[in-house]
Chains A and B, each alone.
Chain A
Amino acid sequence: MAGPMKMRATLASGYTDVRVLMTHPMATEQQTKGQPHFIQNLEVKVNGKTVIEGQISQAVSRNPVFSFRLKGGAKGDKIEVSWLDNKGDTNKTETAVA
């Protein structure tokens, strides 16, 4: 069961600032004695269209926080960020640009 996620998307000058917080152990091989558990894929969508695809590893900190910048943007644009981990767990969060 994935932990809480939170995202904030705000208009800046010429771009939209997106900050997304995730709950995930991002446990390394070393920490788990060979059974790492971490997010591998991220997807950022604007109004349903994928704009960023991320591949991340166990070297990303626990409870990851990412900042992205989207070109332009307008109030009310729908931003969605989803993740998939190496065990097949997923989670996603949506927010409207403020």
Chain B
Amino acid sequence: MRRALACAAVLMVAPALAQQKNQFADYQRMTAEGSPVELFELGGEELWKKPQGPKNASLEKCDLGKGPGILKGAYAALPRYFKDAGRVMDLETRLLHCMMTLQGRSREEATKQLFGNADRPSEMEYLSAYVAGHSRGAKMAPGASHPKEKESYQLGKALFFHRAGAWDFSCASCHGAQDKRIRMSALPVLSAPKFARPLIATWPAYRVSNSQFKTMQWRLNDCYRQMRMPEPNFASDSMVALNMFLATTAKGAEYRGPGTKR
């Protein structure tokens, strides 16, 4: 259900006050220190180990890029090219791949409830929290050497700046210039490493405003909704490319683990 949105009307340019930038620092610190995020990691652990699908297999042999079942640091090295799939994949795309290949589940079944709600989080949300949690402290370093990885980055970059849809918006419309905000939330310039790093280093994340754990595929999907673009396909090349662009722009940042946001 697409909600009517008046936000574009309140997209503002705020004066560059040093105070403005930090006014939520205490709030963000204190909410992160007491956040339900770990409960989602716990839920993800259960799902990772749970045999499911026609093959009655768990995800424990899923290769997230570091080898079958290796979780440590895997998220920080995504997106990357996977030879067995012949394409660049981000976390959720790879999880879906493992659900289909290891567990034998159909794409339709595995993607039936991609984005959950406060009462019923989705498998992807739990699993994303669990996997991302294992990259705490790792330096973000998505794939950059394979030609497909470079191609994905270029596509993501082009998409970031491409204006389209009913309102002629691009990601850069909100995330392309400094000191913009939507109501009280600052809009970081995501095409600049300096501003992208602290942000990308804290996704996926628990959102206190609706008590839900949100993933990057959700974040992109929701941005597209807010831009009045057609709904993107889950795990499509273009969505992976946007994630690749963002992760590459943020590369070198220390991954903080699944975050807590307003």
Given that A25-B118, A61-B208, A62-B211 are contacting pairs, would A4 and B43 also be in contact in the complex, using a CB cutoff of 8 Å? yes
Find B42's partner among A6, A19, A62, A63 (CB 8 Å cutoff): A6
Asked if residues B38 and A6 are in contact (CB atoms below 8 Å), the reply is: yes
Alpha-carbon separation in the docked complex, A4 to B130 (Å) = 14
Asked if residues A4 and B42 are in contact (CB atoms below 8 Å), the reply is: yes
Asked if residues B118 and A65 are in contact (CB atoms below 8 Å), the reply is: no
Asked if residues B39 and A62 are in contact (CB atoms below 8 Å), the reply is: no
Find A21's partner among B36, B118, B119, B211 (CB 8 Å cutoff): B36
Asked if residues A21 and B38 are in contact (CB atoms below 8 Å), the reply is: yes
Given that A4-B42, A4-B43, A25-B119 are contacting pairs, would A63 and B36 also be in contact in the complex, using a CB cutoff of 8 Å? yes
**What chain B residues lie within 8 Å of A21 (beta carbons)?**
36, 38-39
Alpha-carbon separation in the docked complex, A44 to B119 (Å) = 27
Asked if residues A6 and B208 are in contact (CB atoms below 8 Å), the reply is: no
Asked if B34 is an interface residue, CB under 8 A from chain A, the answer is: yes
Alpha-carbon separation in the docked complex, A41 to B36 (Å) = 19
Q: Shortest distance in angstroms between B210's beta carbon and chain A's nearest beta carbon? A: 9
- The interface size of chain B toward A, counting residues with CB under 8 Å, comes to 11
Alpha-carbon separation in the docked complex, A26 to B129 (Å) = 23
Main secondary structure, interface of B, reads loop
**What chain A residues lie within 8 Å of B118 (beta carbons)?**
25, 62
Asked if B28 is an interface residue, CB under 8 A from chain A, the answer is: no
Alpha-carbon separation in the docked complex, A19 to B211 (Å) = 19
Interface string of A48-69 (1 = CB under 8 A from B): 0000000000000111011100
Residue of B nearest to A8 (CB): B38
Residue of A nearest to B37 (CB): A21
Asked if B35 is an interface residue, CB under 8 A from chain A, the answer is: yes
Find B36's partner among A25, A65, A67 (CB 8 Å cutoff): A65
Given that A25-B118, A25-B119 are contacting pairs, would A65 and B42 also be in contact in the complex, using a CB cutoff of 8 Å? no
Q: B-side interface residues toward A, CB under 8 Å?
A: 34-36, 38-39, 42-43, 118-119, 208, 211
Q: A-side interface residues toward B, CB under 8 Å?
A: 3-6, 19, 21, 23, 25, 61-63, 65-67
Please list 28 pairs of residues, one from A and one from B, whose beta carbons are closer than 8 Å in the complex, sorted by A's number: A3-B39, A4-B39, A4-B42, A4-B43, A5-B39, A6-B38, A6-B39, A6-B42, A19-B34, A21-B36, A21-B38, A21-B39, A23-B36, A23-B39, A25-B118, A25-B119, A61-B208, A61-B211, A62-B118, A62-B211, A63-B36, A63-B39, A63-B211, A65-B34, A65-B35, A65-B36, A66-B34, A67-B34
